[in-house]
């Protein structure tokens, strides 16, 4: 997997976790939901990239 893409996906997942935690802390359900969706997107992209790398070899 390209190091740049991996870092970008991990960053997206981490940002999502931070948004979710912030949303919980302040009671903002919308921010919590955005954080969860951002985490899911980062995880999905990471999984897709790993599958692509597996198929290449």
Per-residue pLDDT band for 24 (boundaries 50, 70, 90) equals: very high
Please tell me the pTM assigned to this model.
0.79
For the chain, how many structural domains are there in total?
1
Predicted confidence (pLDDT) per residue in 31-46, tens digit:
999 999 999 999 999 9
Question: Please, is 43 exposed, middle or buried when counting C-beta atoms within 10 Å of its C-beta (0-12, 13-18, 19+)?
Answer: middle
For residue 56, pLDDT beyond 90? no
Range of the domain at 38: 3-56
């Amino acid at each position: 997997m390209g190091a740049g893409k991996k870092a970008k996906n991990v960053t997206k997942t981490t940002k999502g976790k931070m948004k979710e935690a912030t949303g919980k802390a302040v009671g903002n359900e919308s921010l919590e939901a955005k954080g969860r969706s951002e985490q899911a997107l980062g995880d999905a992209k990471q999984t897709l990239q790993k599958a692509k790398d597996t198929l290449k070899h």
